[in-house]
Amino acid sequence: MKRILLCIMALLLIAGTSWAQRGLNCYPVFRGKVVPAKRMVVTEVRGESMATYKLDYYHSVQFQVDEATAMKVAELILADADAAESAETEKTGELLTYALIQPTPFARVRRYLCYQARPAGPAWIITILYLEGSATLEDLRSMFEKQ
């Protein structure tokens, strides 16, 4: 009976990581609803390999878009920043180019949303990271400074 209960709890935790992003305005971006999934580079990592960084889950998407689509994505990120516990943002002109957002925790797990947009000729390269774990903002800042 204990094994069955432990298995059910483990499945709920695994399913919870994909549900956690659903509360975010940028969720459609991660699901390929704004930019087709075939045009994105997607990386998902979970488990022991993330323990060094005090993270349980890492999900990133990167894609190249025109300025109009970049503005749509930026609006979604800014909506998440407005609803977040804390957020740092930077703009170049009208376009959001950087954000480090801490949405409210999900099931007592810290969550972070990192965003970067950089010009590539007439297009923009956008990278969005969704992170979960026990890492603090200071942990993330020091990790990003080293890279």
Higher pLDDT, 143 or 82: 82
Q: How confident is the model at residue 144 (pLDDT cuts 50, 70, 90)?
A: confident
Q: How confident is the model at residue 68 (pLDDT cuts 50, 70, 90)?
A: very high
pLDDT higher than 70, residue 25? yes
CA distance 21 to 67: 25
Let me know: does 100 contact 78? Beta carbons within 8 Å.
no
Dig out the tokens for 103 from the structure.
């949405």
pLDDT higher than 50, residue 103? yes
Residue 102 neighbours by CB under 8 Å, 6+ apart: 84, 85, 86, 87, 110, 111, 112, 113, 137
* pLDDT at 109 (0 to 100): 85
**pLDDT tens digits, 69-79:** 999 999 999 99
Mean pLDDT within 85-108: 90
* pLDDT at 3 (0 to 100): 55
Dig out the tokens for 123 from the structure.
């297009």
- Percent pLDDT > 90 in the chain is 59
The angle subtended at Cα 131 by Cα 53 and Cα 98, nearest 5°, is 105
Q: How confident is the model at residue 14 (pLDDT cuts 50, 70, 90)?
A: very low
pLDDT higher than 70, residue 11? no
What is the reported pTM? 0.82
pLDDT higher than 80, residue 24? yes
Amino acid at position 53, single letter? Y
Mean pLDDT within 42-50: 89
